[in-house]
Each structure stands twice: as structure tokens, then as C-alpha cells.
């Protein structure tokens, strides 16, 4: 009897040890994978920084030649001939910002760069309307990635006044893992500005609201399905959207938006409820 009991204890210890080793192995594997994914984003950030530095270095400073005070002033009495003036060439296509051109050359799905000063959010943003959720579990180079890459909702017009960007809520606070911190008003007050540069233009946005949400069932009525708003070019739709945002907002930022403003919305999963979401809404400055 005592021998059988000892055998059962040995088996239990073995099983507990096996579970511990498996769990530890999985945790270490996750850390290694997340470390590699972070390193890949750091490499992209370095490419942007190096390209910006090269562009700055290649732009010569304006050289001013001062006239010789002892020499008589030369007055040009010739009248300009309009026929001799050649109008500057007009480019049909917008020119990518120098710092982002290398990333666009690597992947034409690159749409812009998102960053919030003082946070871990500092990532490229993708746009692939023909493959709506391609970057949900894909790295910048197209390989598999549990972290994915933040991406613009495929139904948002590329040249519209509204961008809805999705990103994973990672437990290690990478990607949009720190976004739910905006539930605290003091956090918002320390991070009121979101920078979202498109491929062609540098932009800053003022946060106007943060709120909890979830994915609602088809039969649920009287709810705000923010994820179904992807084009706010119609004033009635825009006003309706802003009213919903004001109602859902956790706190008053003192800022709002009116028709004509350009909006940026960041969305991530949240665990306050099943299929929960956390959302931050901002309007473009200037």
C-alpha cells in the first residue's frame, strides 16, 4: 500500500515537472519570438532615421553673398520678358517623404508611420484594401508574425478624411498594448498628441476622446458600431459619428470635432468584456 502511494506521488511529481518545463519552454519561446519581432521594427525605425539624416545632410544651407560696399551699386534696368519664363514642371504624382521612401520601396503596402511620444507606440502602418486583414498576423516583410503590423481598415478611402487603424493588444505592451492606458485621464493629459505621418505628409492629431466598446451582435439595437464607420465624407454621417463618440467617451478632453475635420481612430482588443475593444479618437491639428 505504502509502495503504491509512493509511486502515485512520484508520477504526480513527474507530471508537475513536465508541465512546469513545458510552460517555461513556451514562455521562453514567446519571449524569443517577441524579441525578434521588436528587433525587426527597430530595424525599420533605424532605416527611417538614417534616410531622414541623409536627406538633411544632402540639403545645402542657403549661401548668402554680401555685396562689396566699396563697389558701385549695379542697377538692372532690364524688364523681364514673360515669354522667357519657363513654368515649373508640375508633378502628376505626389512624392514620398524622403524618410519613408526606403520602406515604400521594400513594401508598397506601407502607408505611413504612427507614433505617440513617451509610449511604446512607434510603428509603420500598412494598407492593403485587396487583402483586408493581411497584416493582422503578418510582419512588414510578409512573413508570419503573432504581433502583426498596425493597418488601416481596408474600407477607409486612401485619400479620405478618416483613418481607422487596428493594432494588437500585446501582453508585453508592444503594438497597441499600451493604448488602453488612455482610460486614465491623467495619461491622456501626458500624451494628448498622436503623430501619424502618411507616406507623403507629416501630420499631428489631438486626442478628443477614448472609450470602451465591443463587437456587437447583428440583432443588438441602439449601439455604436464604430468599426462600421469608414467614410465620414457625408456631413450627416460625420455628425452622427461625433455624437456617438461624445456619448461613449470616458471623460471630457475639452476637445471635439466638426464637419471638415480629419479624424484618426486607433482600435485594439480589450479584456473588460467578451470581444471587448478600446478606442482612441483624435482630430488633425492645423
CA distance linking residue 164 with residue 267, whole number of Å: 7
- pLDDT tens digits, residue range 71-116? 444 444 445 555 555 555 555 688 999 999 999 999 999 999 999 9
The closest alpha carbon to 118, from 62, 202, 192, 43, belongs to 192
Half-sphere exposure of 136 (CA within 13 A, CB side): 9
- pLDDT tens digits, residue range 145-167? 999 999 999 999 999 999 999 99
Instruction: For residue 9, name the pLDDT band (cuts at 50, 70, 90).
Output: low
| Percentage of the chain modeled with pLDDT above 70 | 76
Dmax (CA) of the chain: 120
Reading the block at residue 224, the C-alpha cell is 455604436
- pLDDT tens digits, residue range 38-50? 899 999 999 999 9
What is the secondary structure of 17-53 as a DSSP string?
A: HHHHHHHHHHHHHHHHHHHHHHHHHHHHHHHHHHHHH
- pLDDT tens digits, residue range 247-285? 999 999 999 999 999 999 999 999 999 999 999 999 999
pTM: 0.79
Quote the radius of gyration of the chain (alpha carbons, Å): 27
CA distance linking residue 159 with residue 138, whole number of Å: 24
Instruction: For residue 22, name the pLDDT band (cuts at 50, 70, 90).
Output: very low
The domain made up of 98-284 has a fold known as Sortase; Chain: A; (2.40.260)
Reading the block at residue 283, the C-alpha cell is 482630430
Amino acid at each position: 500500500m505504502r509502495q503504491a502511494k509512493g509511486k502515485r506521488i512520484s508520477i504526480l511529481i513527474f507530471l508537475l515537472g513536465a508541465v512546469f518545463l513545458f510552460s517555461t519552454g513556451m514562455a521562453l519561446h514567446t519571449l524569443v519570438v517577441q524579441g525578434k519581432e521588436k528587433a525587426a521594427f527597430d530595424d525599420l525605425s533605424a532605416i527611417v532615421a538614417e534616410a531622414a539624416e541623409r536627406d538633411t545632410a544632402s540639403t545645402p544651407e542657403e549661401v548668402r553673398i554680401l555685396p562689396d560696399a566699396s563697389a558701385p551699386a549695379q542697377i538692372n534696368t532690364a524688364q523681364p520678358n514673360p515669354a522667357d519664363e519657363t513654368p515649373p514642371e508640375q508633378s502628376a504624382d505626389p512624392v514620398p517623404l524622403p524618410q519613408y521612401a526606403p520602406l515604400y520601396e521594400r513594401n508598397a503596402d506601407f502607408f505611413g508611420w504612427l507614433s505617440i511620444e513617451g509610449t511604446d507606440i512607434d510603428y509603420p502602418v500598412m494598407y492593403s484594401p485587396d487583402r483586408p486583414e493581411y497584416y493582422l498576423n503578418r510582419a512588414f516583410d510578409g512573413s508570419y508574425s503573432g504581433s502583426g503590423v498596425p493597418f488601416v481598415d481596408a474600407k477607409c478611402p486612401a485619400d479620405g478624411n478618416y483613418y481607422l487603424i487596428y493594432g494588437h493588444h500585446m501582453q508585453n505592451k508592444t503594438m497597441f498594448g499600451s493604448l488602453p492606458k488612455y482610460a486614465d485621464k491623467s495619461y491622456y493629459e501626458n500624451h494628448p498628441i498622436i503623430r501619424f505621418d502618411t507616406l507623403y505628409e507629416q501630420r499631428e492629431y489631438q486626442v478628443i476622446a477614448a472609450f470602451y466598446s465591443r463587437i456587437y451582435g447583428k440583432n443588438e439595437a441602439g449601439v455604436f458600431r464604430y468599426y462600421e464607420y469608414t467614410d465620414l465624407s457625408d456631413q450627416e454621417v460625420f455628425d452622427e459619428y461625433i455624437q456617438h463618440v461624445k456619448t461613449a467617451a470616458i471623460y471630457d478632453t475639452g476637445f471635439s470635432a466638426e464637419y471638415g475635420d480629419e479624424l484618426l481612430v486607433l482600435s485594439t482588443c480589450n479584456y473588460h468584456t467578451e470581444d471587448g475593444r478600446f478606442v482612441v479618437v483624435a482630430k488633425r491639428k492645423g
